Amino acid sequence: MGDWKPRMQKAVRHLAGQLAGIRAGTVGVGFVETFRVSVRGNSVTVGRLAGVASQGDRIVVTPFDPADVPAVVKALTDAKLNAYAANPRTVCVSVPPPSGEQKAELARHVKALGEEAKVAVRSIRQGARKEIAARGRGSERAVQEATDAAVAEIERLVKAKTAELLK
């Protein structure tokens, strides 16, 4: 019966994880690590194939096997990233900061994710209320307080991320 509170918290944590993956004009190493490279007939992520580090306004990818440099460059350029071999052992990726229009689109996306999380929390609240009514015991007030706390946290996360994106 009392599983509604952890489910609300899980919805908030899920939103926080989604928002953490949205970059706000800074180059993120995790952004490049997820791209797949075709090496010796296998498809492998860059993170498993090379060391990836951030250096100022670019990302430096150092494959463990220098023979993989051309494959990494090809995979990253196919992904529409500005990747080039800096030397025979490293690949550099320049990611320009998003334009104002792109930032506004990201902010709209963040708000949509926040609304989806609020809908999920309210759905959990509705289920908890039905369960309380069916069993005849429990506190609807506690359910509403947990809902209000979860919605407030969602709004705080969305507000912080949109402020970060639009600065």
In DSSP terms, which residues pair with 91 in a beta bridge?
61, 85
| CA 89 – CA 91 distance, rounded (Å) | 7
| Token pair recorded at residue 114 | 């926040």
Cβ distance 38 to 50 under 8 Å?
no
| CA 83 – CA 60 distance, rounded (Å) | 10
Q: Is the pLDDT at 108 greater than 70, yes or no?
A: yes
pLDDT of residue 33: 76
| CA 151 – CA 149 distance, rounded (Å) | 6
pLDDT of residue 148: 95
| CA 31 – CA 147 distance, rounded (Å) | 33
| CA 76 – CA 32 distance, rounded (Å) | 8
Between 67 and 28, the more confident residue is 67
Q: CB under 8 Å to 156, separation ≥6 — which residues?
A: none
Name the residue among 111, 157, 164 with its Cα closest to residue 16.
157
Between 21 and 161, the more confident residue is 161
pLDDT of residue 166: 80
Where b means 16+ CB within 10 Å and e means fewer, 12-32 reads beebeebbeeebbeebbeebb
Percent of the chain surpassing pLDDT 90 = 31
pLDDT of residue 25: 64
Between 104 and 127, the more confident residue is 127
Other C-beta atoms lying within 10 Å of the C-beta of residue 104: 14
Question: Phi, psi at residue 39, to the nearest 5°?
Answer: -130, 125
Domains in the chain and their CATH numbers? 4-22+99-166 (1.10.132.20), 29-94 (3.30.1360.40)
Name the residue among 124, 106, 109, 121 with its Cα closest to residue 154.
121
For 54-74, the pLDDT digits (tens) are 887 788 899 998 888 899 888
pTM for the model stands at 0.63
